[in-house]
Amino acid sequence: MIIHRKTARFRTPLPLECGKSLPQFELAYESYGELNNERSNAVLICHGLTATQNAAGVPKNDNGKEAKPGWWDIAIGPGKPIDTSRFYVICINVPGSFGGSTSPASTNPETGKPYGMTFPVVTITDMVDAQKHLADRLGIKKFYAIAGGCMGGFQVLEWMSRYPGCLSRAVIISTTPRVSAHTIALWSVLREAIRSDPAWNSGDYYGAAAPDRGMGLAAAFGALFWMNRQTMEKKFGLRPLDEKTPGYGFEPEFEVEAFLSQVNQNAARKIDANALIYLTRAMDYFNMTRGGVELASLFAGAQYHALLVSYKSDWRYPPQEAEEIHEALRAASIDSRHEILDSHFGHGAFIYDFHGLGPVVRDFLHNPAHSKPSSPKTSAGMK
Amino acid sequence: MIIHRKTARFRTPLPLECGKSLPQFELAYESYGELNNERSNAVLICHGLTATQNAAGVPKNDNGKEAKPGWWDIAIGPGKPIDTSRFYVICINVPGSFGGSTSPASTNPETGKPYGMTFPVVTITDMVDAQKHLADRLGIKKFYAIAGGCMGGFQVLEWMSRYPGCLSRAVIISTTPRVSAHTIALWSVLREAIRSDPAWNSGDYYGAAAPDRGMGLAAAFGALFWMNRQTMEKKFGLRPLDEKTPGYGFEPEFEVEAFLSQVNQNAARKIDANALIYLTRAMDYFNMTRGGVELASLFAGAQYHALLVSYKSDWRYPPQEAEEIHEALRAASIDSRHEILDSHFGHGAFIYDFHGLGPVVRDFLHNPAHSKPSSPKTSAGMK
């Protein structure tokens, strides 16, 4: 599979929900497969918080060795559920993120210095508006499908509400119509972990030592939520690193401690700390029903088909909240399916435990209209 | 209710599980009610990780104003489920903790300086051994009951296994026979939060600025686990602090963010950072079945009655694990009851949502033998 890696430069401002605007912006993106002549086979993949546009394929590192595969490589490729021999699959790094799109690490053209914390607050709406600019430039009037999980799913919902004519199918995974107080609390603590690192220096660390310790700590915190209790139990249990346990000291003695050290170190290498600060704030503000807006009204008149997928074990983004979206879609007379899957992985299941999801996505992309009688009870098994 | 606050000084060494010993040690404790002449009405309360011996009553601060009530004031007092007009209730600050017992903040008699990280690693076994010394000094040969939740419950289990003749009744709440990989992971991240604060200074901060920022961060992170998603949703929801939300900035805008700031600041004032490091490590090592020990064998021949209480919503210490203890007790022919309660508070329910637990504890202290047929299904509703 050939991976196209590009960066689109926009010399016009991007107005933002906060009232400010980016005077110019860049979007880094990857694509897999070929856009057909009718430009009707494009599938937009929206990435989550700690992922980037590197959704599929196995890139080579600078040293020529193969790097880690893209975060959804299991889903995207020739013959895979999102089949690149049929679809032109595109994943766009969202503004504010750390994959090369305009972000706090970018140079502010007005000062010639990195934005740092002078970067304006971006929202999910802004991310989708930016993606729409790129779709327009590529001549894609309507996506065959738009798919994403978690923060990626937020973007799918925004596309459905903001540009309903621009997609035929929506795949919304492990998502909610609004973040929970607990998610806001979690992001607040993660940001505090970064800010408490003296190297963070109020966000002004580019060209100096990065706040690796704070970023690593934030990532290790986060791991306790994206990997749930049962998964940790299965993966590590109480296995010691060597035979000399209990060692009655404070060095890592359990495998799970060594795993967290690794998460800590990897994150600091991979994720820009300011980007995490901005992206988590974008999630904080995600609330499709703010001010009493009726969810169904956001989808009224749309013609797309929707697939919702949730996981029983995902207490952070529980099936009940996906069901709320499902019911709103049905109230708006939109064809919607809600599949509730089993997996001990919880919120990370759509990435780390794909075998249940794969056939569901494949089937939906081929045959979006759901064939079962459209009662919530039988289609989703929820009351 | 009169609160007695005392500190017992032991000039003899306390041998520890790690192979080292404390050359001398102090135990700070509180008691409520009067010990009878037979010394047969003592109820030992074992405190949890972030609590101390201040279990009941409303102490006065230095300024003469009433401070926060003890952590289990709702349970302990005249006429309350643990009735101080009938029982002599005692709560002992565990060694390593921050309530005045010997801990990393204490002066090492061999150096004349605070122990800091030269303090030996203490375990739950060591905590119970220390408590036994104090019980001996007070002439209490057998406790009427020993009760505790979470880390307090670990201590109750150790009493049951180590000193089975020293208690008549055991109340074991929100507990497990061994910590989970997830708990070890959580403590590892909390310790890293403290260590990442430069003020921590390898634990050598006494007499200088304390690592308040690291400690506060650890506490805020911990709050995401002791207060579960549903409780946060009920308590705070997405309520903004004022009308100007979204404010598109990084100052706290949501009530839940302000709550976490408060948790952060309170913890730094209340909890000694090194104590949290040591107590969490003690929990890491809690594993009653390490090396393939059969749980039931630890209770064999004992004569006490046991009450286990767990909460359906407590995913960190789930009912299944309390049930494992219940079954082991029954296998050892010990009278045991397991009550599985509802509460949206999860792991914190035994403190923050006492109304369901109160009558169960009261009834058990009066009438420990459970009257229902002793099948696990009917007594606990578990399969």
A27-65 residue pLDDT tens: 999 999 999 999 999 999 999 999 999 999 987 766 777
CA distance B120 to B23: 11
B171: closest CA of chain A, how far (Å):
26
Q: Pick from A189, A257, A285: which is nearest to B246 by CB?
A: A285
* pLDDT classification of A245: cutoffs 50, 70, 90: confident
Check if B237 contacts A (Cβ < 8 Å): yes
Lowest mean pLDDT among A164-168, A349-353, B35-39, B284-288: A349-353
Q: Which residues of chain A make contact with B281, given a CB cutoff of 8 A? A: 250
A186: closest CA of chain B, how far (Å):
7
pLDDT per residue over A306-352, tens digit each? 999 999 999 899 999 999 999 999 999 999 999 999 998 888 899 98
Verify whether the Cβ–Cβ distance A178 to B238 is below 8 Å.
yes
Structure confidence at residue B211 (pLDDT): 96
User: Is the pLDDT at B382 greater than 50, yes or no?
Assistant: no
Q: Pick from A220, A256, A285: which is nearest to B192 by CB?
A: A220
Selected for mutation to probe chain B from A21, A121, A180 (highest B CB count within 10 Å) is A180
Structure confidence at residue A41 (pLDDT): 97
Radius of gyration of chain A (CA): 21
CA distance B343 to B349: 6
User: Is the pLDDT at B62 greater than 90, yes or no?
Assistant: no
pLDDT per residue over A217-227, tens digit each? 999 999 998 88
CB within 8 A of A202, min separation 6: which ones? A116, A117
- In order of A27, A71, B343, the CA distances from A54 in angstroms are 13, 7, 43
User: Is the pLDDT at A243 greater than 80, yes or no?
Assistant: no
Structure confidence at residue B178 (pLDDT): 97
Check if A292 contacts B (Cβ < 8 Å): no
CA distance A124 to A311: 23
Check if A281 contacts B (Cβ < 8 Å): yes
Check if B112 contacts A (Cβ < 8 Å): no
pLDDT above 70 as % of chain A: 96
How much is the average pLDDT of B70-99? Answer: 97
Structure confidence at residue B370 (pLDDT): 59
Q: If contacts are CB pairs under 8 Å, which of residues 20-79 in chain A contact chain B?
A: none
Structure confidence at residue A160 (pLDDT): 98
Phi/psi at B160 (5° precision) = -65, -35
pLDDT per residue over A88-128, tens digit each? 999 999 999 999 999 999 999 999 999 999 999 999 999 99
Question: What's the DSSP call for residue B291?
Answer: G
Structure confidence at residue B242 (pLDDT): 85
Of A253, A29, A271, A12, nearest to A135 (Cα)? A29
How much is the average pLDDT of A264-278? Answer: 91
- Written in H, E and C, the secondary structure of chain A is CCEEEEEEEECCCEECCCCCEECCEEEEEEEECCCCCCCCCEEEEECCCCCCCCCCCCCECCCCCECCCCCCCCCEECCCCEECCCCEEEEECCCCCCCCCCCCCCEECCCCEECHHHCCCCCHHHHHHHHHHHHHHCCCCCECEEEEECHHHHHHHHHHHHCHHHECEEEEECCCCECCHHHHHHHHHHHHHHHCCHHHHHHCCCCCCCCHHHHHHHHHHHHHHHCCHHHHHHHCCCCECCCCCCCCCCCCCEHHHHHHHHHHHHHHHHCCHHHHHHHHHHHHCCECCHHHCCHHHHHCCCCCEEEEEEECCCCCCCHHHHHHHHHHHHHCCCCEEEEEECCCCHHHHHHHCCCCHHHHHHHHHHCCCCCCCCCHHHHHCCC
Please, what are the domains in chain A? Answer: 3-182+287-380 (3.40.50.1820), 185-284 (1.10.1740.110)
How much is the average pLDDT of B146-165? Answer: 98
CB-based contact A283:A146 (threshold 8 Å): no
A220: closest CA of chain B, how far (Å):
7
Check if A168 contacts B (Cβ < 8 Å): no
DSSP bridge pairs for B336? B306
How many residues belong to chain B?
383
Q: Which residues of chain A make contact with B228, given a CB cutoff of 8 A? A: 182
pLDDT per residue over A118-166, tens digit each? 999 999 999 999 999 999 999 999 999 999 999 999 999 999 999 999 9
How much is the average pLDDT of B271-292? Answer: 96
How much is the average pLDDT of B32-44? Answer: 97
Structure confidence at residue A376 (pLDDT): 43
B373 exposure class (CB count in 10 Å sphere: 0-12, 13-18, 19+):
exposed
Q: Count the neighbouring beta carbons within 10 Å of the beta carbon of residue B381.
A: 13
CA distance B42 to A177: 53
Structure confidence at residue B69 (pLDDT): 92
User: Is the pLDDT at B316 greater than 60, yes or no?
Assistant: yes
CB within 8 A of A23, min separation 6: which ones? A13, A109, A110
Lowest mean pLDDT among A234-243, A271-280, B21-30, B160-169: A234-243
Q: Pick from A189, A217, A229: which is nearest to B315 by CB?
A: A229
Phi/psi at B268 (5° precision) = -60, -30
DSSP bridge pairs for A285? none
Structure confidence at residue A382 (pLDDT): 42
